Amino acid sequence: MFLIIIGTIVIVIAVTKSKNKSDGLVKIITTDPIVSSTTTTEVTTTEPITTTETATTTEKAKTTTIKPTKENSTSISANGYKIETIDGITYVDGVLIANKTYSLPSDYNPGGLTKECKAAFDEMAAVAKEEGLTLFVCSGYRSYSKQKTIYEKYCNRDGKNAADRYFARPGHSEHQTGLAIDVNTASSNDNTSESFKPIREWIANNCYKYGFIVRYPEGKESITGYKYECWHIRYIGKDLAKKIYDSGLTLEEYYGITSKYVD
């Protein structure tokens, strides 16, 4: 309440709060001592009334500093490329990486093959068909839990060391990214079989044109961590695929990264 004396007129201004923070109600009470009359006028304002009342709760700005952790970190590869891990997902020069060194969270799920990967494969298969070859997805997206089930099966059958040479541990599989495809087969026999030779050679010589690379080439097990798989292709986009194809390098060699389990 405010008291203002102007001559013989006393003006009392009372501030009434509204439940709506954007409104205020001002009551102006004018008293004329000569005529002994009082007039009250109510004025509704759309602007909040400022008083000297102190707020009981004050929101303070918070500053959060993201520290390098297992989930979020940045480093540089041996070949000078930026390695960035965001929420447990690793990117090298912006390309998602899943290998023995870099894993994916167990809940990472793109919902199947990515739209770009599927479109690129369909384009490639259409061209191959014109040349008399049939290409299809033998194995595409594979969830963490599915990978775990199959991996444990192979470990029980062949032993862990042997299984690690041809099948990724859960969280380390490219199939979980939705960017990898086993074309027509997943049998090691087809790495050398005569019946699969036309498709094997066509994939090796043409898949880069559609944004894919043969991810685990022959003679590169010590680098990629896996035996030769002529059927396993990885989508990385046409520009990068051509660069890697022309270089004759694996993804690890091109970027200067490793593919080794900690244990």
Catalytic residues: 229
Question: Among 114, 132, 125, which Cα is nearest to 198's?
Answer: 132
- The one-letter code for the residue type at 93 is D
| DSSP string computed for 56-77 | S-------------SSSEEEE-
d(CA 200, CA 186): 12
Write the DSSP assignment of the chain as a string of letters. -EEEEETTEEEEEEEEE-SSTT-EEEEEEEEETTTTEEEEEEEEESSPPP-SPPPS-------------SSSEEEE-TTS-EEEEETTEEEETTEEE-SSSS---TT---SSS-HHHHHHHHHHHHHHHHTT----EEE----HHHHHHHHHHHHHHH-HHHHHHHSPPTT--GGGGT-EEEES---GGGGT-STTHHHHHHHHHHGGGGTEEEEE-TT-HHHHSS--EEEEEEE--HHHHHHHHHHT--HHHHHT-------
Asked whether 18 and 41 are in contact (CB, 8 A), the reply is: no
